[in-house]
Amino acid sequence: MKKIILANPRGFCAGVDRAIDIVEKALIKFGSPIYVRHEVVHNKLVVQNLQSKGVIFINELDEVPNDGVVIFSAHGVSNKVENAAKTRKLRYFDATCPLVSKVHHQVERYSKLGKKVLLIGHKGHPEVEGTMGRHNPNFGSEIYLIQDQDEARELNIPRNSEIGLVTQTTLSLDDTREIIEILKQKFPKLEMPRNDDICYATQNRQDAVKQLALEVDFVIVIGSKNSSNSNRLKELAERCGTPAILVDEFKDIDLKKLEVFNSIGLTAGASAPEATVQEIAKNLAELFNFDIKNLGQNKENIFFKLPPELR
């Protein structure tokens, strides 16, 4: 029988759960509109749902009126943005994932020690902008963004520099490991966390999609095009030799293409709702007479507290 296999774990992580909860609790407590700086998490359906409840997504704080309530997205913000909110005495809530905040603290610590800071990440991603913006140049420190192996090789700073390394939380584990190896060889005084800063949710979903890709003919990753961790899942499936697509919802799937496959794997990025996974699995099962099975177990048991005012 043809089958659909669901990867475990998949979908929402603790940081995304918390960020959405913060927005929903703020809506209940303060009423609409609630302003959110940047997409609270990178998922089109989550954003549309919150917009329908009265959330206004903005790019910059000057779009918020003085009596407005504003929330910072799960990706985190720079010191400059946080200080601007304080200066204007805006009522703000920080939905930054605590695992991103941990990276911010590392950057602040390295800065105060006067170390050069290397950040492995993707230019333009809001998490990277927030993390770069936590660097403090007042102690003689400098920060450099490294996007790939070439940039690591070409980085032109003295070999014996005191250096602290951090990474974006949603990168490919394999790619990051290779970049770190190059940096370790180049800079003997490189200080870094025990492994890297790639979060548990990214790691677990990447491990699960590798397993999934070996079991199926085709992988559907549910997630938005601007979701870093969802893109990494699609790339990983393809690197395992299994064709893959990234879709927001059922209507994005070219059903004709699926007719030839005997087994289809489904997974979801850390910002993609489980309801979408279930809807896609159910529709495909009905259309193609697929059996639905699970692969692996979801052993994640991580929760992050809400800000006291919203508990």
Residues that bind ligand SF4 (CB under 6 A): 13-16, 74, 97, 99-100, 169-170, 199, 201-202, 229, 270
- In the complex with ligand SF4, the residue whose CB is nearer, 136 or 203, is 203
- Is residue 309 annotated as a catalytic residue, yes or no? no
The answer to whether residues 227 and 168 touch, using CB atoms and an 8 Å cutoff, is no
Burial class (CB in 10 A: 0-12, 13-18, 19+), 33: middle
Indicate the residue among 14 and 268 with the shorter CB distance to ligand SF4: 14
* Minimum CB distance to ligand SF4, residue 16 (Å): 5
From 39, 82, 127, 235, active-site residue = 127
Say what angle helices 200-215 and 173-186 make with each other, to 10 degrees.
120
**Residue that is written with structure tokens 């290779």 in the block:** 178
Name the residue nearer to ligand SF4 (CB basis): 209 or 270: 270
**Whole-number minimum distance, CB 295 to ligand SF4, in Å?**
21
CB of 21 to ligand SF4, least distance (A): 12
**Judged by CB, which is closer to ligand SF4: 111, or 230?**
230
We find the least distance from the C-beta atom of residue 139 to ligand SF4, in angstroms, to be: 27
Q: Measured between alpha carbons, how far is 190 from 184 in angstroms, rounded to an integer? A: 6
Burial 155-190, CB ≥16 within 10 A → b, else e: beeeeeeebbbbbbbbbbbebbeebbebbeeebeeb
196/258 with CB nearer ligand SF4: 196
Taken as a whole, the chain contains a residue count of: 311
Q: Closest approach of Cβ 30 to ligand SF4, in Å?
A: 23
Rounded to 5 degrees, φ, ψ at 172 are -70, 125
CA neighbor of 234 nearest in space, from 253, 219, 248: 219
Residue 134 CA to residue 128 CA, distance in Å, equals 10
What are the catalytic residues? 127
